[in-house]
Structure 1
Amino acid sequence: MTTTVTAAILVIGDEILSGRTKDKNIGYIAEYLTAIGIDTKEVRVVPDEEDEIVPALNTLRAKYNYVFTTGGIGPTHDDITADCIAKAFGVSIDVDPRARALLLERIAEKDLNEARLRMARIPAGAELVDNPISKAPGFMIGNVITMAGVPSIMQAMLDAVTPKLKTGTKMIQVTIEAAGMKEGDIGTEYGAIAKAHPGVIMGSYPMMNETGFFTRLVLRAKDPALLGPAEAAVVAMVERAKPATSEIKITRGA
């Protein structure tokens, strides 16, 4: 019996959309969640605008088991994520004594000015998400996990919140490739195999290395009983399609 837990990633920040900052969080979160048994189904990137953040958040949290947000919880005027999440949930927001105490572990009382206190503003009813790097916490309210945009801090927060998450059956993956095999040679037959095995997610990716072009075929499923027959059919197809001198390479779990 397989179980599925789903998630979306909501990236918040004008700097991502302008290209000034290159996102390093989406791939990390998606890979991390896959490893623990949570399927990332959607990613959105929105600007630092309430009218964009709130509806996007409400749509995603109604659609998936979890929503992971990154960005917009710092000390500046455009860090409005916490306020937007409070509005989406219809709760108040204020300086949280727990979060303020955490900031004081790193910042002297005399330096805890209005800007820095913004990082202690938490929606009512939210749980704090630990930040061992700079102490300013993230938070979790309902099925929404709010994390920093700085990759190292986000990663630490993700580690901290993981024990609180419900997870599903992990995906099993098989990668099949052979030097010299081209997508155009196998596209029709591969599509027929995919149609015959609807419980298996099958992808095809043209690649190139020092020896030339080749095609990487990736098969993914949660049930090994479904994956096995599909793998056998694809291997037989590759054996027929590949150059005679080429060897089939099969990698599992990568």
Structure 2
Amino acid sequence: MTDTSRIWTAALIVVGDEILSGRTHDKNIAQVATWLGVQGIRLREVRIVPDDMAAIIEAVNALRARNDYLFTTGGIGPTHDDITVDAVAEALGVPVVIHPEAEAMLTRYYATRGGINPARLRMARVPEGADLIPNRLSGAPGIQVGNVFLMAGVPGITAQMLDGLTGTLEGGAPLLSTTVGCWVAESEVADLLRETEKNHDGCQIGSYPFFREGRVGANFVIRSTNQAVLDAVVQVLVDGLTALGREAVPGGI
């Protein structure tokens, strides 16, 4: 039985020179974080690295050691600069092999698309001992080896791979959240936020200020795995803001 009191964590490595150069805007971080939350797993850190073997290896070894799960996006395609498989294999100390099931998938997929060739066959390469992650959108599967999950950089394909993993990973209770908004400067409620979080175990309060309509305000996002704690914190914040002469807006502004 899953221990819902335990906090399960994950890290994400985004691989790609195009992300670091600003040429491509990453869209995977948000969808991976959201998906993990539903699985009861918390995304603790994200690292963006170039298409460089040493950088990927260092990131893989560092992040897989201090998290329950490690996800990577990018670098598993058919071109010479797709080196994530090679880097992960080296980090794990295993060789790269052709996965027979992946080869069969690609052969079937490309049978009416010009056939298999050496470039396309690269997408059947995996670290030895790996399993495949289903992908209904294209012929190339994702890869799971140990607690490391290699996924595509294309957001639509990543979404398909996440869908294929849904319900297969062990996690804790999903992280719940709700928002309280208020037209108030953060500095005026810093003590209220700090003391409220301190007095309620298992909750986190994030403050997100904004400037609209010529005035300042903030949305306070409360997170907890316990609905009762969440409700209690909301009530304390509403009461505290009211005592300061401020109107609280449940659901946020």
Secondary structure of 1:186's match?
helix
Structure 1 stretch displaced more, 87-96 or 60-69: 87-96
| Counterpart selection for 2:144 from 136, 140, 145 | 140
Q: TM-score, with normalisation over the residues of structure 1?
A: 0.91
- Provide, for residues 134-174 of structure 1, a one-character-per-residue CA deviation record: whole Å limited to 9, x for no partner: 11111100001110000000000011022321121111212
Instruction: Give the deviation of 1:242 after TM superposition.
Output: 4.5
Q: Which residues of 2 match residues 1-254 of structure 1 at below 5 A?
A: 2-108=5-111, 111-178=115-182, 180-210=183-213, 212-243=215-246, 246=247, 248-251=248-251
Equivalenced residues, count? 248
Question: Kindly tell me: are residues 122 and 211 of structure 1, through their superposed partners in 2, closer, same or farther at Cα, counting changes over 3 Å?
Answer: same
Looking at structure 2, the residues matched to 242 and 40 of structure 1 have their Cα atoms a distance apart, in angstroms, of: 37
Instruction: Give the deviation of 1:249 after TM superposition.
Output: 2.1
- Provide, for residues 24-54 of structure 1, a one-character-per-residue CA deviation record: whole Å limited to 9, x for no partner: 0001110111122111101001111111111
- Provide, for residues 38-71 of structure 1, a one-character-per-residue CA deviation record: whole Å limited to 9, x for no partner: 1110100111111111111011111111111000
Identity of aligned residues (%): 42
Secondary structure of 2:138's match?
coil
Secondary structure of 2:110's match?
coil
Secondary structure of 1:72's match?
coil
Instruction: Give the aligned CA root-mean-square deviation in angstroms.
Output: 1.9
Looking at structure 1, the residues matched to 35 and 244 of structure 2 have their Cα atoms a distance apart, in angstroms, of: 35
Looking at structure 2, the residues matched to 162 and 82 of structure 1 have their Cα atoms a distance apart, in angstroms, of: 22
Unaligned residue ranges in structure 1 (runs of 5+): none
Letter in structure 2 aligned against 1:34: G
Q: TM-score, with normalisation over the residues of structure 2?
A: 0.91
Kept in 1, the 8 Å contact 2:192–2:237? The answer is: no
- Provide, for residues 109-132 of structure 1, a one-character-per-residue CA deviation record: whole Å limited to 9, x for no partner: 963221111111111111101111
Kept in 2, the 8 Å contact 1:2–1:223? The answer is: no
Instruction: Give the deviation of 1:222 after TM superposition.
Output: 1.4
